[in-house]
DNA sequence: CCGGATCCGGTTTGATACTG
DNA sequence: CAGTATCAAACCGGATCCGG
């Protein structure tokens, strides 16, 4: 998905994509690009020069999918803060419950001794 | 994702969801539902009865996400055939190449002997 | 009925080195 | 530059048993 976003409107080279997508390995990038190509979502053009040059671009089909991915990205950007806030609450709630359970155990122990 | 679609508009019980989503294990369903709950995308209501009864429903936030998921589902339904057709072509192309390579090897071998 | 806990094989991934 | 090859490590996801 990030790959489709990274491709954007333009044709890009392998190393450009690799630099643009933080933390992806060459292996994974290759794998994803090949799979997209297989599904005809992107196009791969190899120039027979030295050093090698390979360009990737979205197909018309890929472009239609990109719109949806943009919508997802916008949703994330809009709600990411709320989700993270809620998640923190949820996790702390768990922590509170755990504390209560521990306190209960301590109490039982003190009563028993 | 399928879980969000399955939840739809209504409140549903665990076993309903489990029956509705083909091939998901209880473990996975539980895991997904808990993660969604953690991100406040669904709500979990436990009734303290025997046998247990647990109901799940989408939160307002979850409802906004559901719209996007519907869009993705529609995209899939619309283009799935094209993608599969292209994929088949792509794979057969590979097979053809492989055959050519094998033929070339056979030729070399027959020439050598 | 709705899970939690544990084990366990298979897939995926990262790291590293290498190549035309 | 744009990958491929190989191996170890991490991460699932399923199967099974248990428990309120």
Please check whether residue B12 lies inside any domain of the structure: yes
pLDDT digits (tens, 9 = 90+) for B68-87: 999 999 999 999 999 999 99
- Using an 8 Å CB-CB cutoff, list chain A residues near B79: 61, 64-65
Asked whether the beta carbons of residue A38 and residue B86 sit closer than 8 angstroms, the reply is: yes
Please check whether residue B36 lies inside any domain of the structure: yes
What pLDDT is recorded for position A93? 77
Please check whether residue A46 lies inside any domain of the structure: yes
DSSP letter, residue A23: T
Q: How far is A48 from A37, CA to CA, in rounded Å?
A: 19
How many domains does one find in chain A?
A: 1
Please check whether residue B60 lies inside any domain of the structure: yes
Residues 2 through 31 of chain A touching chain B, CB cutoff 8 Å: none
Range of the domain at A14: 2-80
Q: Which pLDDT band, with edges at 50, 70 and 90, does A37 fall under?
A: very high
| Length of chain B measured in residues | 113
Please check whether residue A89 lies inside any domain of the structure: no
Please check whether residue B57 lies inside any domain of the structure: yes
Q: How many CB atoms lie within 10 A of CB A62?
A: 20
Angle at A29 between CA A23 and CA A35, to 5 degrees: 145
**Residue B64 sits at the chain A interface (C-beta within 8 Å):** yes
Listed in sequence order, the residues at least 6 apart from B70 whose beta carbon sits closer than 8 Å to its beta carbon are: B5
Query: How is A54-110 classified by DSSP, letter by letter?
Result: EEEEE-HHHHHHHHHHHHHHHHHHHHHHHHHHHHHHHHHHHHHHHHHHHHHHHHHHH
Please check whether residue B27 lies inside any domain of the structure: yes
- CA-only gyration radius of chain B, Å: 24
pTM above threshold 0.85: no
**Residue A61 sits at the chain B interface (C-beta within 8 Å):** yes
pLDDT of A108 over the 60 cut: no
What pLDDT is recorded for position A65? 95
A26: domain CATH number is: 1.10.10.10
Q: How many CB atoms lie within 10 A of CB A33?
A: 19
Closest CA to A36 of A4, A71, A72: A4
Please check whether residue A24 lies inside any domain of the structure: yes
């Amino acid at each position: 998905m990030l790959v489709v976003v990274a491709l954007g409107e333009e044709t890009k080279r392998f190393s450009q994509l690799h630099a643009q997508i933080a933390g992806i390995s060459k292996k994974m990038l290759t794998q994803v690009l090949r799979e997209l190509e297989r599904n005809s979502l992107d196009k791969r053009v190899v120039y027979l020069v030295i050093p090698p040059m390979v360009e990737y671009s979205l197909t018309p089909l890929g472009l239609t999918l990109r719109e949806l991915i943009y919508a997802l990205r916008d949703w994330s950007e809009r709600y990411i803060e709320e989700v993270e806030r809620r998640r923190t609450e949820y996790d702390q709630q768990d922590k509170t419950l755990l504390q209560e359970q521990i306190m209960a155990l301590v109490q039982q122990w003190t009563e028993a001794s």
